[in-house]
A and B are shown apart, each in its own frame.
Chain A
Amino acid sequence: MLALLFILFAGMAVGCAISMVAQRNPLYSAISLIGVFISLTCLYVTLAAPFIAAVQVIVTPAPSWFWSYS
C-alpha cells in the first residue's frame, strides 16, 4: 500500500519537475512547480512526517509572489 503510494507520488514529483524545466511559458513552469510541491507533501505524509508536510503546504503559494509583485 505504502509502496504504491510512494511510486504514484514520486512519479508525479519527477514528472512535474521535468515539466517545470522543459516548459517554455513561465506560468506553466510555475504550475508544474506547484505540482512538485503537492506531490512532495504527499510523500512526507506517507513518511509519517506531518509537520514537514504542513510546512511544505505553507510554502506552496510562494510562486504566486512572482506574478503578483513582478
Chain B
Amino acid sequence: MVMEDLRYVILLTIGILVAFTVVMTMVAYTVLAERRILGFIQGRLGPNRVGPGGFLQPIADLLKFIFKEDIVPDKSTRFVYFLAPTIATTAALMSIVVYPFGPDVHLGFNIPWIGNTIPLVVAKFDVALLYVLGVTSVGVYGIALAGWSSNNKYSLMGGLRSSAQMISYELALGLGLIGVILQSGTLNLQSIVERQSGHLGITGWNLIWVQPVGFIVYLIAAIAETNRVPFDLPEAETELVAGFHTEYSAMKFALFFLAEYVNMFTVSMLATTLFLGGWNGPFVHQLPWLGIFYFLGKVVLFLFFYIWLRGTLPRFRFDQLMSFGWKFLVPLAIINIVVTATIQWSGLFDWGAKFLKTATGWGG
C-alpha cells in the first residue's frame, strides 16, 4: 500500500516537473517573441544581440532579475506585500496539471514502475473544467492584495480596477464556456477533446460546428481576464505609473510578470482544448506523440494573436470596459446558452452529426 502510494507520488512529481519545464520554457520564449514581434509591428528591431537572433535574451533577463536590488517600501504591510506575488504565481501555475497535452501513448514494451501506457496529462480529473475556472479566479487576490499592501495610491487604484475588471469578466468567461459543456455533456477535458476528433481531426472542432459565439465571448473575456491590451487598465502606464506592481522590484516583480504570461498561456491552452480540438490533428491516432505538437502549435497561434492585438489596439476607458462586459458580452453569452440548450434539447446536433457522418464521413 505504501509502495503503491510512493509510486503514484513519484510518477505525479515527474509529470508535474515535465509539464512545468515545458510551460516555463515556452513562457520565457513568449516574452522574447512578444518583444521581437512588437518591434516588427512598430518598425524597429527588438532585442537581437544576446545569442543568435536574441535567442538567449530570456536567460539574460532572468539573471538580471535575480541580481537586482530588492526594495521593500517602508510603510508597506510586510506580510501581505510578500504574500501577493506568491498567490499570483501559484494560482497561475496550478491549472497546468489538468490540460491534456496529447492522447494516451501505448508503448510496445513495459517500462518498470510505469507500465506500457504513458498518459500525456498529469492529473486525470473529472471536474477539471471547474477546477481551472476556480484556480485561475484566485489570481485576482494576488493583484488586489499587491495594490493594497504597497501603500501607494496608484497601486491601490490599479488593484481595485483589476479586481473589479477580473470579477466582471470572470462571469462572461464562465458563461461563454457553458455552451461547450452543454454540447459535450462532460467537464472532463480529455473527454471533451476526444469528442472533437472528426475527419482528419479537424472537422470535429467545437469552434467550427457549434460554438462560434461562445468562442468569441471566451476569447474577449480571456484577454480581459489576463489584463492584456486592450484591457490592461490595472497597469495603464499613462494613468497609474505601473498600476499594482509600481512598488515591486527585482524577483517579486518578475513573479508578477511570470504570472501574467503563465495566465496568458493557460487561457490559450483552455481555448485550444475546448474550441480548437486540443491535441486533435491529422494522423494523431497513428502517431500519438504528434498530439503534443498539434496542441502546443495551436497554443502558439493564440499567443501570437494576443501579441498582435497588443501591437495594434489602443486601451479601453474604464466605463467602456465595464459597459462592454456587462451590457454586451454577458447578454451575448446568455443568448448563446439558451440557443445551444434549445438545439441540444431538440436533438438537431445529433441529427446533423449523424447526417454528416453517413453522407460525407465528416463530423464528430
Contact = CB atoms under 8 A, between A and B. Distances in A.
A64 B130 contact: no
B160 A57 contact: no
A31 B134 contact: no
Interface of A, secondary structure class, is helix
B5 A54 contact: no
A65 B133 CA distance: 17
A61 B141 contact: yes
Interface residues of B, number: 23
Contacts of B270: none
B79 to A, nearest CB: 9
B144 A57 contact: no
B137 interface: yes
A55 interface: yes
B24 to A, nearest CB: 23
Given A27-B148, A31-B80, A60-B138, A55 B163 contact: no
Interface residues of A, number: 18
B226 to A, nearest CB: 15
B137 A54 contact: no
Contacts of B135: 57
A68 B311 CA distance: 30
Interface string A42-68: 000000001100111110110011011
Contacts of B5: 1
B204 to A, nearest CB: 27
A67 B140 CA distance: 12
B167 interface: yes
Contacts of B83: 31
Given A64-B140, A64-B144, A58 B133 contact: yes
